[in-house]
Amino acid sequence: MQTDLNSVLNQAFEAAAELYRERGFQRRIGFGARPALINVDLANAWTRPGNPFTCEEIDDRIIPGVQQLLTACRRNGHPIIHVTTCYQVADRANPNTDMGLWHHKIPIEAVPEDRPDLWAIDSRIEPMPGEQVLIKKRASAFHGTYLAGYLRAAGVDTILVTGVTASACVRETLCDGLADGFRTIAVKECIGDRVAGAVAWNLFDIDAKFADVESVSRCVAYLDEVGTVRKASAAQ
């Protein structure tokens, strides 16, 4: 089934890519000079089995890729932001819930604040001292949070975004990041979902409209390149 779906999607992408090119889409935003890494919802409720939010290809693709990016950021001193989601009032009957109306669509009550074991960042990519751990309440890591202000204060002009899901929180974060004036890079191998075809379609469409989709290897090389330049400038 997956092979058949990929074949159908590739045919659709070929036709859509031609239409996009004819109409001026798929332009490149490019890398800037000061990057930051944003890992979206790579917490236990999304990365470990047995939760409504559990996603696919976490162990064999996403975690190894994010580990490479973390290593590159840490050796070069680039900012790292770990984003997770939880709710102070997870009672759907309580009108004062911080879930807003989103619980009418998806089971976000599954990550209550009093269960940090669920919304804690996966231990395989555990935050180090000095790295931000940001709690969001909505899909986008920018919506209602201090993220944009934090990035601007750090002089960041480029965000590399990983995490889950391609169809929701990652996509919304990239859209808002671009709207807030940051160069947006979606790291191809480090973005997942829980529905077949969702990653491929969303990355294709994101690349046409909201961000450049780049490989882990290209992003690691970029992080090292700008890190070397910054170290050289600081040494002068």
Active site residues: 169
Q: Cα–Cα distances in Å, from 128 out to 123, 133, 235?
A: 11, 10, 26
pLDDT per position as a tens digit, 42-56: 999 999 999 999 999
Domain locations in the chain as residue ranges? 29-235
- Given this structure, which CATH class describes domain 29-235? alpha beta
What are the pLDDT tens digits along the chain (236 aa)? Answer: 566 777 778 887 888 888 889 999 999 999 999 999 999 999 999 999 999 999 999 999 999 999 999 999 999 999 999 999 999 999 999 999 999 999 999 999 999 999 999 999 999 999 999 999 999 999 999 999 999 999 999 999 999 999 999 999 999 999 999 999 999 999 999 999 999 899 999 999 999 999 999 999 999 999 999 999 988 888 87
How many CA atoms does the CB half-sphere of 107 hold within 13 Å? 7
Give me the helix-helix angle, 169-179 and 198-209, nearest 10°.
10
What is the per-residue pLDDT across 136-165, written as a single tens digit (0 to 9) for each? 999 999 999 999 999 999 999 999 999 999
